[in-house]
Structure 1
Amino acid sequence: MDWYRSVRLFRAASIGVSVSLAGFASAQNAEPDIKTQLSDFVFYVNVHQTEAAAGMASEIFGAGMTPREFLEAVEEHGLEDDLDEAIGKALRSDELEPFGARMLKMLTDGRLQRARDPNEIERNIEGLVGGLRERLYARERLKAAGEYAMPQLIDALLQRADIQLRTQVQRLLNESGRSSVIPLSVSLMDIEPAAQEQVVNVLGQLGYEAAAPYISELRDKTLSDPVRAACDRALDSLGVSGSTAELYLQLAEGYYNEREELTSFPGEQMQLLWDYDPSIGLNPTAIETEVYHEARAMRLAERSMEFGSQGPGALGLWVAANFSREIDETPGYDNPAYPPSMREAMYYAVASGPIIGEVVLSRALEDNDTRLARRAVEAIHRTAGPGLIWDRSSGQSPLVSALTYPSRRVQYDAALAIAASQPRSNFAGSERVVPALASAIRFAGTSYALVITEEEEQYRSIRRVIESQGYQVLPFGSDVAEIAEAIAEAPGIDLVVTQAAAGRTEPLIDAVRSRAKLSAAPIFSMVASNELPRLRRLHSGDVSIMVRPFGIGEDLLSSALTELVDSASGGVIEVDEARQFAMLSLDALRDLSVANNAVLDVSDSTASLVSAMNETTGEVRLQVAEVLSRIGRSSAQATIAEAALAASGTERVDLLGKLAGSAKRYGNQLDAPMIEQLVELSATGEDDEATAAATVIGALGLPQSDLVRLILAGQ
């Protein structure tokens, strides 16, 4: 073993023994330079000294270098190949993976920072007319800069002083791929006809359909025959057809769906919005990725409407995208695409009316977007009247479909919205409304979870954590089919947790999603470490799926489950929210009964309300009794009577009042023993209770002999 290797191994041992000892040793010696630190990191990784490698990586990160400074230090000392190899090994180590991933990101970010530097871009554009080697290097760097190079590239393309440079820029743009499509497209309407023809030719050669609506708009508006001919050729080569309005709407749909080819910088925090000003040229505006696609979808939907888009499609898409923007936007973010002069999303949704609300809801249900669905239902609730067309020519009604959506919040919201509209005509699915309202009274506060594991011991371990969060967990099963009956019997499934061997997670998630009742439920999947990066990437765009490694600690598991359910469905239904759902549902049932609604039969809720009398307390229980008092069934009246006789004090008086209301509406439906108890109470009870019981007797219309008994009992 050579001397330098011995020193390194000694240092590795020191780091492994004690952080404080390493700190003491470093204090006694000169701080190592970045070259030494990088070389040591590479060495420790290669000799499998993981603690030493982790410690050295921490020292490197602690130096506070920017990604570009880090990259240039690596290149300056000729360590690119050695470090790349070491990072690859670190990424395959559970202990070193976080350090390797961070170092790889610093290198990647450093290359991007350098490539996107305007001064660097300017130098590289000048290099396009240099020697062969310089040109190749410049082209590579400009392609790496992507959209960030477009303002200067377009300026170089449009200038007329250097024909050779213009030719080289056009060649570069012809090979630049999708990164140049939108910047070139948005510039089309504001440049000179000769330049328009040139840019249209580039867009036609690139072959991306995202350019089609812009080219179509130019074709509609241009007065230049050569430009119009170029537009026709480009549209033919793109293979698109339709009006400009239709093409803008198609592109808006693509952005709303966040199609991969319309995301310029996947995985990055910011994206770029583009506009063109003839006085300053192409102008980029940075916007957070979370709201980028919504901003583009809204702007393109506006363009579609400006060009006379027919039907509710463009407006419905705009409203949906605006809701999604509001949902995804970071609190306090100053969105450059949505100025303060714009109102909240609900303002535009309710102004658009219930038909547009149903268009938005249909989109939300199809996408399993619970948060959007709730906002769409709220907009419908606020605006829909009895004249709303429940069954359209397609035979589908989104609001009725929402009654079977996997989220119980959406089910309850939809039932409340339909009840509030007081429908006058029968519609398919009307029989589901009242049971949904009744379910909200009894089950809104109970959350149900499904745990699918291969071993029952794993199931028990996970179940313990989930039950500590207040969930009722369904029985053990190693696949969905095993517990299909339990799933069917549950009012709803609020969380699914899976743990499967390598290769089984994706089929298991597919099986979960194939069940209508589980199609939008939040899924938490624990997977093998070698599958983790791929599965995270696969589901990165779905807020309802979270992937974590095997062996996650109970505290981390608990917090991750909370984060998942909060982001996917708004969190579990807590006590206050459950009570609110119950009260709103009871109000809706009461209003339906008062209106004698012939479409929604409140008596369908009788069995649930009878059970609820034994499960609820306080104001909720009194409201249950109020609704029962408006149902003309003997079981409803008897339940109120039993509850009143079993109660005491103010509650008994209040319940006797509800019983009297039932008697006034439907007459005497009580059996003799119960009537005898009421007569006894009216004769012997305290004044308030006795008077309340006497009111019931009077409302029941009892025989004169019973009244004589009361009079004589008082003498």
Structure 2
Amino acid sequence: MLWTTCPVLLALALTAPLMAQDEDDLFGDDPNMADGFDFDDEMGEGMEDMAEQMMEAMKAMKMPILEQAIKDSPRGIQAKVGRGEDLNTDELREVSRRMAVLMGEDPSDVDAKEDPTPEELIEANLMIRELQPKFADVVDQRDTAVATTPPADDADGPPPASLFKDFIHYIRIARHDLAVSFGTAWLEAPLTPDRILTSVEKGPYKPADIQDTLNVARKAGGEIEQVAKNVETRIEKARLDVARDPTRIRNNIEALATGLRAQQNAIKRLQQAGEYTAPHFLAALLNTDDRPLHPYVTDAMVAVGREIVQPICEAFAYVPPVNQRQIARVLSDIGYPLAVPYLKAVLETQDLEDSTRRVVEMAVSTLEEHAGIPADRRAAELFYLLAEDYYAQRVSLILHPDQPINLLWDYRVGTGLVPLSIPTPVYHDVMAMRAARRALELDRDMSGSLSLWIAANFRRENNQPEGAVDPSYRSHMRSPLYYATMAGPRHLQPVLQRALANGDAELALDAIDALRGTAGEPSLLNRGAEQRPLAQGLNFPDRRVRIESAFAIAEARPTSDFSNSQRVVPVLSEAIRQSGTMYAVVLAEDLSAAGVIADHVRQAGRYEAILGTSFDAVVGEVADAPGVDLIVVQAGQAQIENIFSAARQNVKLQVAPIVVLAGDAEIISLTRRFESESGVRVAAQSDSGDTLIAGIQQVTRDLAGDQLTDDQARTYALHAMSMLRELAMGLSSDVFHIEDGYAALLESLDDPREEVLLSAAAVVALLDHDKAQQALADVALHRDHDERVKIALMKYLAESARRFGPRVTDRQIKELLELVASARGALSEAAAQAHGALDLPTANPVELIVRN
């Protein structure tokens, strides 16, 4: 930077096009000037005079910018200028940054320049002293340092406009530490919405510049990101509060008829207020004394547009005919098809005057044609379709998806339109319920609307934020489960089907709960219907839905086979394994690679790994395992296809999440191949171990649901044991086979939870299998249990022996005799009972009698 070319201006970093950054820039591409310009040797005194005149002209051009830059600077700098004191280098740079902003240049360039020499600093301050009279009024402020905290103007703090101006300025020059300070001070200032907007609009920055600056800050990270977000939120809320102020809205409506300019300004402000204008527009139309204003009001309503459609549709059925005609024309001109079911409902249910009917019919025809709605659709059907759109959470049906609340409008005779603040997470569900209820009011036999209302009500309850209130669900209304059970299985089956199709685990659990309390076996399994959602639930990704589906079906004791019946016992087995060891099948092209992957799998959860190089190699171990919770495959695409097909045909592997580890050459094709398979995730073989572990944990959460709590796991395990005991005793259905649960039951004898262990022993005692009795004997003789548990286990061993005879090994017989001889009290009696039930040789008790 050439400080000497024009010491004053360049010292202030004036980077406008007239000012050069170096000699080459100053003289352009002229080769004769490439070595710079020496006034004395080359051009003479005339040129020197001309240069001096040019510099004086440039100085005159920059003085207003310099003055504004000083005004934008901290009060300490203004005070020094007002007292005629010199600015130091840091203060000079501060002024320069603000000048760069005013001139459209990058303020960060200022910090890249070299410091001025002492002579240049003197000349710069001489120029600034010319502005001393402009700042004499701040001479009493004695802060002479560049501000590092918001300056204090008076006892009440600095003006909000000054705080906001400095906040934006320091973001623009990348001094985020100072921006945070000023921004926080502005956020903490107690301001009304009016004063908030005034503080923003009063400064030198245009709205677009402010928004661009805030966008930059929001991407910067750290403290400034959050401060910028908070500033943006405060400004937006203030704008809405001001625009929605009822007095302002009424004044703007009255201003519609006071001249073209006033009308345009009023419409602009009414558009900003949006749906909040609806009750005031309606009040103006209902006021017969304001009839000359009505044409202006209807034009303004059309200008506001779709934001007022829902509220004025709510009022449409209740207003006088003349207002119905006005509103119908407005809705037609706005052209938003949401209005069609409301207009048609009035046509179908009210005895309208001929003139009113013609206007409403014309509006309906226009809207139907515009939206492609068949003319023969009844209002009930249209409300049902609207409810479906709301349930599908169409973004076009919510005005403020990013706000915490959205409005539902009620029309109350004598009061008018009343807004209800609905928490945004449940807004679509509330509106789906409302539209479905309208459909039922018009056609009480529309069963689809009833099922949809039940589903939306359950989902509304599930999604409502903690502590939030839904004012649309009045205090006299009962719980969602009340209405669901009252509706019965015929209307609950579509709710469950909808939940499964949408992957909504919470809704599925609600529907199953209601079905279990109301449905017998035929209606529970939906026999005779094309869809059997409860049976489909046995394959749902979320384990809770699978388990609850199995419970419901097992409790119904079906008398004949049905689709997916083979899944019931494996899912019950899965239930008794919750919170225990999980099993993963790991397949790779060689066992060494499979071992490395298995190490990562074990770190991802409590997994035991079954390793192999092909599906056929692990089929036997899979059959013996109590269940499979995860499959990880690293192979070529053809082998992966074969493994996927085989896994989905295997009862134990049908719903196990699959992680495919693909090489670089195949990752794109495999991702495309499995993108529609909800139970498969594709990852890169090259991912690090930590990435793979995190991916496995994520995929199991996504596809199998969150890990159960200890209480949930214990409850599921005990209930599953109860179901399996009934099955083992022959009290349950002949459709299911207890053999499918052997492995899980035997594994449960090692469960550390006492209740689960004893429940498992009670079931194992009923299994007609050598391994069952031997496993029961092992756990009774070897495990470190307290005496009470050992006594119970001995009694279950005795029960097994009574049913199926002795199947224990010689080793176990010897150990049992030792226990009989050494134990005392109740344990010795329980051991003796087991010995007797096993019908062992009489020499054993004789020996004890003789010895004693």
> Please, what TM-score do these two structures have when normalized by structure 2?
0.67
Task: Tell me which of 282, 287, 308 is aligned to 1:154.
Answer: 282
Structure 2: runs of 5 or more not aligned:
1-10, 13-65, 74-89, 98-145, 585-595, 610-629, 662-667, 684-693
**Does the 8 Å CA contact 2:429/2:457 hold for their aligned counterparts?**
yes
Gap change, CA 1:448 and 1:644, over 3 Å in 2: closer
- Ranked by relative contact order (alpha carbons within 8 Å, sequence separation 6 or more), the top structure is 1
Alpha-carbon separation, structure 2, partners of 1:317 and 1:278: 29
> In the alignment, what sits opposite 2:728?
593
Alpha-carbon separation, structure 2, partners of 1:700 and 1:340: 65
> In the alignment, what sits opposite 1:86?
213
Deviation readout 1:393-429 (Å, 9 max, x if unpaired)? 5533222222222211222222222222222221111
Alpha-carbon separation, structure 1, partners of 2:239 and 2:466: 31
SS at match of 2:523: coil
AA aligned to 2:564 is: G
Matches within 5 A, 1:473-484: none
Root mean square deviation of aligned Cα: 4.6
2:314 counterpart of 1:183: no
Gap change, CA 1:421 and 1:431, over 3 Å in 2: same
AA aligned to 2:790 is: R
2:385 counterpart of 1:236: no
Aligned-pair identity in percent equals 31
Task: Tell me which of 502, 513, 522 is aligned to 1:367.
Answer: 502
Deviation readout 1:274-321 (Å, 9 max, x if unpaired)? 222342322222232233322222222222222224353222222222
Task: Tell me which of 476, 479, 483 is aligned to 1:348.
Answer: 483
Distance apart, 1:199 and its partner CA: 1.9
Task: Tell me which of 27, 38, 50 is aligned to 2:164.
Answer: 38
Deviation readout 1:590-623 (Å, 9 max, x if unpaired)? 2333314201222210012112223444221111
Distance apart, 1:712 and its partner CA: 4.5
Gap change, CA 1:11 and 1:442, over 3 Å in 2: farther
Task: Tell me which of 747, 754, 757 is aligned to 1:611.
Answer: 747
Task: Tell me which of 163, 167, 171 is aligned to 2:299.
Answer: 171
Alpha-carbon separation, structure 2, partners of 1:153 and 1:105: 28
Task: Tell me which of 771, 794, 809 is aligned to 1:656.
Answer: 794
Alpha-carbon separation, structure 2, partners of 1:509 and 1:337: 45
Alpha-carbon separation, structure 2, partners of 1:692 and 1:327: 51
Gap change, CA 1:121 and 1:28, over 3 Å in 2: closer
2:194 counterpart of 1:58: no
**Does the 8 Å CA contact 1:124/1:142 hold for their aligned counterparts?**
yes
Alpha-carbon separation, structure 2, partners of 1:223 and 1:102: 54
AA aligned to 1:235 is: V
AA aligned to 1:200 is: A
Alpha-carbon separation, structure 2, partners of 1:301 and 1:507: 44
Alpha-carbon separation, structure 1, partners of 2:348 and 2:420: 28
> In the alignment, what sits opposite 1:71?
197
Task: Tell me which of 114, 120, 134 is aligned to 2:248.
Answer: 120
Gap change, CA 1:248 and 1:434, over 3 Å in 2: same
AA aligned to 1:611 is: E
> In the alignment, what sits opposite 2:563?
428
2:715 counterpart of 1:580: yes
Task: Tell me which of 84, 104, 114 is aligned to 2:232.
Answer: 104
Alpha-carbon separation, structure 1, partners of 2:251 and 2:259: 14
2:520 counterpart of 1:358: no
Alpha-carbon separation, structure 2, partners of 1:243 and 1:405: 37
SS at match of 2:257: coil
> In the alignment, what sits opposite 2:554?
419
Distance apart, 1:566 and its partner CA: 11
> In the alignment, what sits opposite 1:247?
382
Gap change, CA 1:470 and 1:10, over 3 Å in 2: farther
Deviation readout 1:454-476 (Å, 9 max, x if unpaired)? xxxxxx9xx99x96998999899
Alpha-carbon separation, structure 2, partners of 1:271 and 1:571: 31
Distance apart, 1:26 and its partner CA: 4.3
AA aligned to 2:677 is: R
AA aligned to 1:620 is: V
Matches within 5 A, 1:521-600: 572-594=707-729, 595-600=731-736
Matches within 5 A, 1:505-516: 514-516=676-678
Deviation readout 1:613-666 (Å, 9 max, x if unpaired)? 234442211111111122222222222122223246333321121122223333
**Does the 8 Å CA contact 2:541/2:705 hold for their aligned counterparts?**
no
Distance apart, 1:323 and its partner CA: 1.5
AA aligned to 1:362 is: Q
AA aligned to 1:137 is: N
Alpha-carbon separation, structure 2, partners of 1:692 and 1:579: 27
2:422 counterpart of 1:301: no
Distance apart, 1:117 and its partner CA: 0.8
Distance apart, 1:436 and its partner CA: 0.9
SS at match of 2:476: coil
Gap change, CA 1:115 and 1:407, over 3 Å in 2: same
> In the alignment, what sits opposite 2:518?
383
The farther-off stretch of 141-150 and 401-410 is 401-410
Gap change, CA 1:403 and 1:72, over 3 Å in 2: same
> In the alignment, what sits opposite 1:528?
none
2:273 counterpart of 1:145: yes
Gap change, CA 1:333 and 1:47, over 3 Å in 2: closer
Alpha-carbon separation, structure 1, partners of 2:92 and 2:435: 60
Matches within 5 A, 1:484-503: none
SS at match of 2:521: coil
Alpha-carbon separation, structure 1, partners of 2:769 and 2:189: 78
AA aligned to 1:119 is: T
AA aligned to 1:287 is: I
Structure 1: runs of 5 or more not aligned:
14-20, 450-459, 499-505, 524-556
Task: Tell me which of 347, 354, 362 is aligned to 1:219.
Answer: 347
> In the alignment, what sits opposite 1:517?
679
SS at match of 1:176: helix
Distance apart, 1:701 and its partner CA: 4.9
Gap change, CA 1:492 and 1:48, over 3 Å in 2: farther
2:843 counterpart of 1:714: no
2:174 counterpart of 1:48: yes
> In the alignment, what sits opposite 1:630?
766
Deviation readout 1:315-344 (Å, 9 max, x if unpaired)? 222222221222222444443211232222
SS at match of 2:307: helix
Gap change, CA 1:122 and 1:308, over 3 Å in 2: same
Greater C-alpha Rg: 2
> In the alignment, what sits opposite 2:621?
none
Alpha-carbon separation, structure 2, partners of 1:318 and 1:25: 56
Alpha-carbon separation, structure 2, partners of 1:121 and 1:570: 50
Deviation readout 1:186-229 (Å, 9 max, x if unpaired)? 11211112322332233233333322221121111221233334
Alpha-carbon separation, structure 2, partners of 1:516 and 1:300: 32
> In the alignment, what sits opposite 2:804?
666
The farther-off stretch of 684-693 and 128-137 is 684-693
Alpha-carbon separation, structure 1, partners of 2:565 and 2:635: 34
Alpha-carbon separation, structure 1, partners of 2:246 and 2:176: 40
Alpha-carbon separation, structure 2, partners of 1:386 and 1:12: 83
Alpha-carbon separation, structure 1, partners of 2:163 and 2:700: 43
The farther-off stretch of 685-694 and 344-353 is 685-694
Gap change, CA 1:478 and 1:634, over 3 Å in 2: closer
SS at match of 1:128: helix
